[in-house]
Amino acid sequence: QGCTQKYIVKNYFYYYLFKFSAALGEEIFYITFLPFTYWNIDHSVSRRMIIVWSIVMYIGQVSKDILKWPRPLSPPVVKLEMRTDAEYGMPSTHAMAATAISFSFFIATVNQYKYPFELGLVAAFVFSTLVCLSRLYTGMHTVLDVIGGALISAVLLVLLYPAWDAIDDFLLTSPFCPLVSIVVPLILCYNYPKLEYYSPTRGDTTTILGAGAGATVGFWLNNQYAVPADTSADFQLGFPLLTGKIAVLMLARFFVGILVVLLTRQLVKNVVLGLLGYRYKFPVDDLEARRRLEVEVPYKFITYSSVGFSATVLVPLLHELLGLM
């Protein structure tokens, strides 16, 4: 059921503020911010955020399809988005992701870099609050959905924090890391809760777990054969005084990296869909066929694990080759 309501914007400040804030909880933000952190700020911070993001989002997506709480009724609510309308509402994964990313970034950096504790705490709170409020403004969630999502993320952060170092050490040093990083997410994707009708949650979850799996294998590979994670200072800028030269260098790394990531995604997606189309006898533009379990999971998992691997292994190598390190 699509939203066909017409609406008049009476306050453009709120409209654009919350439309922008909603985008901070979507794929376009995470596919840019998380790699940017890895390429330009700190490997250890990026690793922690990616792992927390993957766990939090998986739990949030599965919870939606287990609880099956509907989104706000429209009317009376006017929905400003259509992409996620087919999903259930509780908990808000935008609220979960925003809370997890902002506060894990704050927790991971506050003791490593010199900046006011209060400033970091306020920034994390403002970021997560804006994303949460955007879900109410756009009509996609109830207050309970948003509060539930934020609280679940907060609890998960508290539970995961004591194990951060142990998880990080396993991902960097264990010979079983590549196998676990691929097999466990795949099992979770193939055993995702079944619904009576198609919802994009399984595909989105596979995308997230695939990206996390590829990045995790990249972390391990870098630590084993490239620059050990504990001594990768040359890759990290931390929070320096942002001179013109450093700003240009950071932007160059970012744009080169994003170009490689986007090319990787498009190339691998076309190849994998072509192979699956040949295997299961369907044209690659057949949307219904691409939603089948045996197609959706491998195509999205392979595509986005390649993206995660490319961002953590191929892009840094290219940066080094181009003299951007």
Give the amino acid at 47: R
C-alpha pair distances (Å), 285 with each of 205, 272, 276, 281, 290: 22, 13, 12, 12, 8
Query: Dihedral (C-alpha) 150, 155, 157, 160: value to the nearest 10 degrees?
Result: -150
Give the amino acid at 87: E
* Gap between the Cα atoms of 46 and 213, Å rounded: 14
SS3 content of the chain, % helix, strand, coil (to 5): 70, 0, 30
Let me know if 94 is a catalytic residue: yes
Q: Of 47, 71, 94, 300, which is the active-site residue?
A: 94
Tell me whether the omega of the peptide bond preceding residue 76 falls within 30 degrees of 0, making it cis.
yes
* Gap between the Cα atoms of 106 and 286, Å rounded: 43
First to last CA, the chain: 50
Is the alpha carbon torsion for 123, 128, 133, 135 positive or negative?
positive
* Gap between the Cα atoms of 264 and 309, Å rounded: 10
Let me know if 319 is a catalytic residue: no
* Gap between the Cα atoms of 306 and 121, Å rounded: 34
Q: Which residues contact 19 (CB under 8 A, 6 or more apart)?
A: 80, 134, 138
**Element counts in the chain: helices (H) and strands (E):** 13, 0
Q: Of 43, 141, 253, 319, which is the active-site residue?
A: 141
Tokens of 147: 């509060």
Q: Catalytic site residues? A: 94, 141
